[in-house]
Chains A and B, each alone.
Chain A
Amino acid sequence: MRRLITEVGEWFDHRLQLAAPIREAAEHPVPRNTASWFYVFGSAALTVFLLQLVTGILLALIYVPSASEAWSSLQALNHDVTLGWFIRALHGWGSNFMVAIVLIHMVQVFLFGAHKFPRELTWIVGVFLLLMTLGMAFSGQVLRFDQDAYWGLGIGASIASRVPIAGPMIVKLMLGGPIIAGATLSRFFALHVFVIPGMLIGFVCLHLLMVLKLGINEWPMPGRLVKKTTYVTEYHELTKRNGAPFVPYAVWKDLFFAAFILLAVAACALYFGPFGPTGRPDPTIIQTAPKPDYFFLWLYGLLSYLPPSMETPALLIGPVVVIAFLVLLPFLSGEGEKSWRRRPIAVLTILLIAIILGTLTHLAGYTPWSPHMNAWSGDPVPEQFLHGSTALERQGALVFQVKQCRNCHSLGESGGQRGPALDSVALRLTQDQLIRQVIQGGGNMPAYGKNLSPAETTALVAFLETLHPRTQSPARDAARDMVLGEEQNRRQDSQR
């Protein structure tokens, strides 16, 4: 039996002649200390990519890339087709894992100085692989053709339309027509299924080829500097003196980690299930608050914190600067120290970026910048704010609810967080300031002057004046005491 297999193998190899180069690639010597758990993320990314290819093809057996039918075909996958939900969940979780692993891989490569000479091109190809991965994540979100996908496309179109002169053309090119409709989904299908994966496969091959040709980055030693003139000889000496064949010396860790990641994806898929689809992509249903997928949440947060005047420049120039910086990085620091122990700025930069992205993502999890559209009718004024209040103040509390103040202002930690919480607003603003703020707005608040009758304003302000802790007295305008006389003023206040 074994002889037969050997003979068949030899028959093929006589024609293909691949055995020798494959063996050579597998057994090429790598520095001993690179057989580390830190060096497994690249192969893990490749493994998840293969999982995405397989599950993607499986989904394409059922999915219909038509604006009128995509949503129903996703429902069929979720509910009718045997284990359709599981394949969808694998693909969705695989996508999240892939973005995460690619990012971790990139951070590891940067901190270990692997982007330096002679691996500059490997890094640049890697940058494009990251962009393609993000492109896959976004286009994949579009193919999950639900309300989030529909309005997400609208956000994409609004951003693209801000490009000077060419903006409107880019929007029509992106949408495939004047509106988000059938042609839009079809072209995102083509991008997600043919164009980007094709490029990804090509770039992954290039990336791997360079890793083989140039050798895996040695474990960085503080003080061992990279010089263009001597590095290659030093590296070869290192692999000769202290090297080991990649297979099996290092590969077992890659294999274990790859299997572990696949297991983790499967566990998430099994436990959490597939993503969506949310509501039907019907533009006439406007009771929706679209939200991007996890890896674009930071962008959602950033877009609500940028001052309006900064937004268009930041959106158009920001990505160009970031990509240009990433591409140029190996040329800016192509030599010198590799170890993270001697590169404090590199470490701090990574930490800073991680904190910024983490904070924005965390904030986008509960969107303090969005009004709570149903707070005015759904969240009653907490009882403690009405205890012992007068009829006028209660009327004011009603105005407060009915005029949707609550959508942006919280009381007792319920309600919107777009504006400041009003639990103790009377400590900050005097009666006159409250009236002015309500009527004229300002500081990011609309003016309510035209929408409130004088009686409503009086009642509302009377209610707002009660919003202070029992132990602290509300803010008072000292000048009024002077003008009206302290006694009369106090009497007026106590009458209210």
Chain B
Amino acid sequence: MPNENTISRRRLFMKLGILFNGVVATALAVPIVRFLLSSVTRGRASAYLSWVPLGHVSEFPEGETRLASFRNPYVTPTDGKTADTSCWVRRIDGEQFQVFAVNCAHLGCPVRWFPQSKLFMCPCHGGAYYQDGARASGPPERGLFEYPYRVENGLVTIQAGELPTPGSPTAALIGKKPPCAA
């Protein structure tokens, strides 16, 4: 006949075993979750953003909008061409610029510039924008995303590093109008 005591002792050991596993699992979960979320936590201190040069001011004629491309400041060894990004540079005059992301503010398709009608058009769902990036028509709820820029030693430099999406905090940052558009 089984002793009451023995059973409860076995049960105690089983419970201790489960508890032990629980403790170990929790301890392991911390690095696992931190690893999984590394791409999120890293970006929190906006470590992804930095200033990248696009080219000399003279490469962008006044009153025109030109396509420029830059290497994303944050790259990994397997990125290849995907770390190259394009943007539309509009030189209003002198050192007044507007630098737009190619990504449509609707769903991120690449918009194209038509200098004759001075419109950006999106091939996906037909979003259209005026030359200053303001929404002209179509499904986008806002104008084109704009990168903050500055001109340093004759180089047009923008603050970039993140894919501009409608909800990203940098979208609010890069949606700011330059003083000339006010």
On A, residues with C-beta under 8 Å from B are 66-69, 150-151, 154-155, 157-163, 167-169, 171-173, 175-186, 280-284, 286-290, 300, 303-304, 306, 308-309, 311, 369-371, 373, 376, 402-405, 407-408, 418, 441, 444-448, 450-451
Is residue B168 contacting chain A, with contact meaning CB distance below 8 A?
A: yes
* Chain B residues numbered 114-157 whose CB sits less than 8 Å from any CB in chain A: 114, 116-119, 121-126, 128, 130, 136-141
* Chain B residues numbered 65-101 whose CB sits less than 8 Å from any CB in chain A: 67, 69, 72, 74-86
Question: Contacts A158-B108, A177-B76, A179-B163 known; A451 to B81 CB distance under 8 Å?
Answer: no
Task: Considering the complex, give the chain B residue whose CB is closest to the CB of A179.
Answer: B163
Task: Considering the complex, give the chain A residue whose CB is closest to the CB of B139.
Answer: A308
Task: Considering the complex, give the chain B residue whose CB is closest to the CB of A417.
Answer: B126
Q: Which range holds the interface residue count of chain B?
A: 35 or more
- The answer to whether B107 and A303 have CB atoms under 8 Å apart is yes
Which residues of A are found within 8 Å of B84, using beta-carbon distances? 282-284
- The answer to whether B79 and A181 have CB atoms under 8 Å apart is yes
- The answer to whether A159 and B39 have CB atoms under 8 Å apart is no
Is residue B27 contacting chain A, with contact meaning CB distance below 8 A?
A: no
On B, residues with C-beta under 8 Å from A are 36-37, 39-40, 43, 48, 67, 69, 72, 74-86, 102-103, 106-112, 114, 116-119, 121-126, 128, 130, 136-141, 161-163, 165-169, 171
Question: Contacts A179-B72, A304-B139, A446-B137 known; A162 to B167 CB distance under 8 Å?
Answer: yes
Which residues of A are found within 8 Å of B36, using beta-carbon distances? 173
A112 to chain B, nearest CB (A): 38
- The answer to whether A171 and B137 have CB atoms under 8 Å apart is no
Q: From DSSP, what is the main secondary structure of chain B's interface residues?
A: loop
Q: Roughly how many angstroms separate A181 CA and B107 CA in the complex, as a whole number? A: 18
State which of B80, B116, B117, B138 has its C-beta within 8 Å of the C-beta of A66. Answer: B80
- The answer to whether A151 and B110 have CB atoms under 8 Å apart is yes
A168 to chain B, nearest CB (A): 5
Which residues of B are found within 8 Å of A402, using beta-carbon distances? 116
- For this complex, 11 residue pairs linking A to B, each with C-beta atoms less than 8 Å apart, are A157-B165, A162-B166, A163-B167, A168-B167, A172-B39, A178-B74, A182-B78, A182-B80, A186-B78, A304-B125, A404-B117
Which residues of B are found within 8 Å of A286, using beta-carbon distances? 67, 86, 102, 110-112
Question: Contacts A172-B43, A178-B162, A371-B126 known; A283 to B136 CB distance under 8 Å?
Answer: no
- The answer to whether A444 and B163 have CB atoms under 8 Å apart is no
Which residues of A are found within 8 Å of B48, using beta-carbon distances? 177-178
A54 to chain B, nearest CB (A): 28
B182 to chain A, nearest CB (A): 18
- The answer to whether B80 and A450 have CB atoms under 8 Å apart is no
Which residues of A are found within 8 Å of B80, using beta-carbon distances? 66-69, 182
State which of B107, B111, B126, B169 has its C-beta within 8 Å of the C-beta of A155. Answer: B107
